[in-house]
Amino acid sequence: MNDIDEVMLNFSPGSLQLLNAILAIVMFSIALDLRLSDFGRLIKSPKPMLTGIAAQFLLLPALTFLLVLALEPRPSIALGLILVAACPGGNISNFITHRAGGNAALSVSMTGVATLGAILLTPLNIGFWGSLYPPTREILRATVIDPVSVAITVGLMLVLPLCLGVLINSRLPDLAARIRKRLQWLSMAIFVAFIVLALAANWGFFLNYVAAVALLVFLHNGLALGAGYGAARLAGLSEYDRRAVTIETGIQNSGLGLILIFGFFHGLGGMAVVAAFWGIWHAISGIALAAIWSRTKAAR
């Protein structure tokens, strides 16, 4: 078996462009639920949003670094965990928050704000935390990751469709209402199908190495969910808002993670397996948590 730190996954440039397009459509469909007035309300009552953003971009990356220090996984696996923690909330978090009986409007708004913030905060967190751990620092040095290129990638793939979706929902609400749900379900189905096909092209490799990352991803995802709930509770948020912040912190945009891994790290094995398995597991854990929470109504 080859060293996971040396293996590069098979992922063609055309496939990468297709994944970019799919994620842009997913982001556009989410943005059709947002209006400029939503961001205005956040200014009047910012605590839930600020708590969620802090949990995502400050607390989770710091806890991930401590997890890496404590368990000392293979360098590419460690950097994969750091990269996933640096990504904004995932695109299924809004659906899961709704199923959990949490504040779905807060979840959608957090996704939008975190996506905007990711232009700066995602490359900053990858570079900062990755450089503090010597084994991952060596990968970053060999890769020569350009924060500006990462910001451009995030901007074109996530922020541009976000702004377009908000504009259409504000100017053409009837059109947005007609296409919103269908587009959300269609884009998610295409996204899942694409990930399955991408894994199929590397299935042997994935099976060989998934055991090396499974326990770490379980722990990391549990840490993310716990960080979100703990931060929301310490901030004194209602249970209704806590559920949204918890899920938004525990559901990471692993699709963006895969794009960054294939675009900037040449499909480095440990990183890719971490992001791919995160994409599977966070949906399972999130839906399971939502099923438990949905049994009781959240206090507002």
List the CATH number of the domain containing 43: 1.20.1530.20
The residue-averaged pLDDT of 79-104 equals 88
The residue-averaged pLDDT of 250-279 equals 83
The residue with greater pLDDT, 211 or 281, is 281
Give the whole-number percent of the chain exceeding pLDDT 90: 33
Residue 1 has pLDDT above 50, yes or no: no
Residue at 298 is within a domain: no
Domain that holds residue 111: 13-291
pLDDT at 258: 82
The residue with greater pLDDT, 118 or 208, is 118
Residue at 187 is within a domain: yes
The residue-averaged pLDDT of 128-152 equals 84
For residues 249 and 60, is the Cβ–Cβ distance under 8 A? yes
Residue at 1 is within a domain: no
Q: Label residue 11 by pLDDT band (50, 70, 90).
A: low
pLDDT at 144: 66
**DSSP collapsed to 3 states, the chain:** CCCCCCCECCCCHHHHHHHHHHHHHHHHHHHCCCCHHHHHHHHHCCHHHHHHHHHHHHHHHHHHHHHHHHHCCCHHHHHHHHHHHHCCECCCHHHHHHHCCCCHHHHHHHHHHHHHHHHHHHHHHHHHHHHHCHHHHHHHHHHCCCHHHHHHHHHHHHHHHHHHHHHHHHHCHHHHHHHHHHHHHHHHHHHHHHHHHHHHHCHHHHHHHHHHHHHHHHHHHHHHHHHHHHHHHHCCCCHHHHHHHHHHHHCECHHHHHHHHHHHCCCEHHHHHHHHHHHHHHHHHHHHHHHHHCCCCCCC
Residue at 91 is within a domain: yes
Residue 2 has pLDDT above 90, yes or no: no
For 212-224, how does the pLDDT look when each residue is reduced to its tens digit (9 = 90+)?
Answer: 888 999 999 999 9
Residue at 115 is within a domain: yes
Q: How many domains does the chain have?
A: 1
Residue at 3 is within a domain: no
Residue at 57 is within a domain: yes
Buried b / exposed e along 15-48 (16+ C-beta atoms within 10 A): ebeebbebbbbbbbbbbbbbbeebeeebeeeeeb
Residue at 300 is within a domain: no
Q: Label residue 134 by pLDDT band (50, 70, 90).
A: very high
Q: Label residue 60 by pLDDT band (50, 70, 90).
A: very high
